[in-house]
Structure 1
């Protein structure tokens, strides 16, 4: 069983750095394209401020020169989902579960363990970067499939742009999740609810050592409960009453 989670744009480098792992061939090919961009190019490419583009330019050059600081990926990323994941003071069993089951999907590093060494980077699959004439999704598809092809159960907490990197055959195996709030009988869903709930849900899985769909259906967390009436075989819905 594997749990797939996305990266995040927000990052926190206030952690001790760890030893880097040499880039795999697919990652190096992506980096080789990124190093061709000037800071001005990156400002347009990412649609970000000049200040942030300059920062990203230095991140890319540090990777190129092998001087980049690396951090455990789960602690480097600090978006809303990540801030709702239990990342510190894990028991030995929780640490083992995290290392065995949770994978992070990156447009630069591929599908890697949650604590894999990563350097700060902004790249995601919404970016129109070409690698040897291929889109990022096409470039990574084979390696992404290889990472989970032998898994009987794949729980996906990915957004759609990350899921579609995988082949149709593997996407059909994935169990996906929807998190909603119910107020005055009305159900609503929005990104803030979803991101916070994904993090809290993953925490509940880690704490409960959850490995099967049957176990998932029994999870209650942060006010959310499983709703069988709204769920489908491969899409499980959790609702929080407010």
Structure 2
């Protein structure tokens, strides 16, 4: 089973890292192409495209301008948003990190598809961005390239299953482009008696599921039903073959 996560806007390039053997992104050349093209966008255009403040637009304009000289960091330890708060990668032991390298993937607007130990430079480019070189949308620029590599990873892993922990925006890069033989199971998180969906909690829970998967070395999708971190429990009545629901009080 391959678990797929969204990336994060918040990044960490300061904290100490455990001893790791980093890998090279499969789409390193594509990332460089996109970054160099984005370097020609004005701060105003970046602000409009990404719906960000002038200060953030300047930060990212500088990143794209200096992209080739920016520091690199393994992706699972560079992303620091809500999902990665739940994942807590820095507290995983070496065996869990090794398992994650084979069973966890992160979708990325700039890097396409990242393994946990793939080196990445700081950036911001969301998959839903309505810009790309010679295209009107980033998903059009990527086409089916991300889905093909993801399908290859699933075939190499052997289970034929993807655990979709990504947002709809990022899953769009693979949705409808994978072989029909691959089973995709999404996760739905609900809170309280009313079973409300709370975005912040759901993001963190996605990371917790990924952590639970690598800590318990879960290889079969049925094993995910045992996830019980932070009070969540599998809800059979609210689940289907394509979506597992977890609820907590």
Structure 2 residue 185 is matched with structure 1 residue 175: yes
TM-score by length of 1: 0.90
Q: Which 4+ stretches in 1 moved above 4 angstroms?
A: 16-23
Q: CA deviation at 1:169?
A: 4.9
Range that drifts further, 153-162 or 17-26: 17-26
Match of 1:125 in 2: 127
Range that drifts further, 191-200 or 128-137: 128-137
Measured in 1, the distance between the counterparts of 2:94 and 2:51 equals 42
DSSP-derived class of the 2:80 partner: coil
Structure 2 residue 3 is matched with structure 1 residue 3: yes
Match of 1:224 in 2: 232
Match of 1:96 in 2: 98
Match of 2:144 in 1: 142
- Please give the per-residue CA displacement for 1:20-51, whole angstroms capped at 9, x wherever unaligned: 95863432332232011122322222222222
Q: CA deviation at 1:79?
A: 0.7
Measured in 1, the distance between the counterparts of 2:203 and 2:74 equals 20
Match of 1:186 in 2: 194
Unaligned runs of 5+ in 2: 155-159
- Please give the per-residue CA displacement for 1:62-100, whole angstroms capped at 9, x wherever unaligned: 11xx21111111111111111121312422321211111
Structure 2 residue 160 is matched with structure 1 residue 160: no
Match of 2:108 in 1: 106
DSSP-derived class of the 1:186 partner: coil
Unaligned runs of 5+ in 1: none
Structure 2 residue 52 is matched with structure 1 residue 44: no
DSSP-derived class of the 1:52 partner: helix
Measured in 1, the distance between the counterparts of 2:118 and 2:134 equals 26
> When the two structures are aligned, how many residues end up with a matched partner?
237
Range that drifts further, 26-35 or 144-153: 26-35
Please provide the CA RMSD for this pair: 2.2
Q: CA deviation at 1:221?
A: 1.2
TM-score by length of 2: 0.87
Cα pair distance change 1:134/1:114, threshold 3 Å: same
- Please give the per-residue CA displacement for 1:52-71, whole angstroms capped at 9, x wherever unaligned: 111111111111xx211111
Contact 1:16–1:71 at 8 Å: present in 2 too?
A: no
Q: Point out the structure with the larger strand share.
A: 1
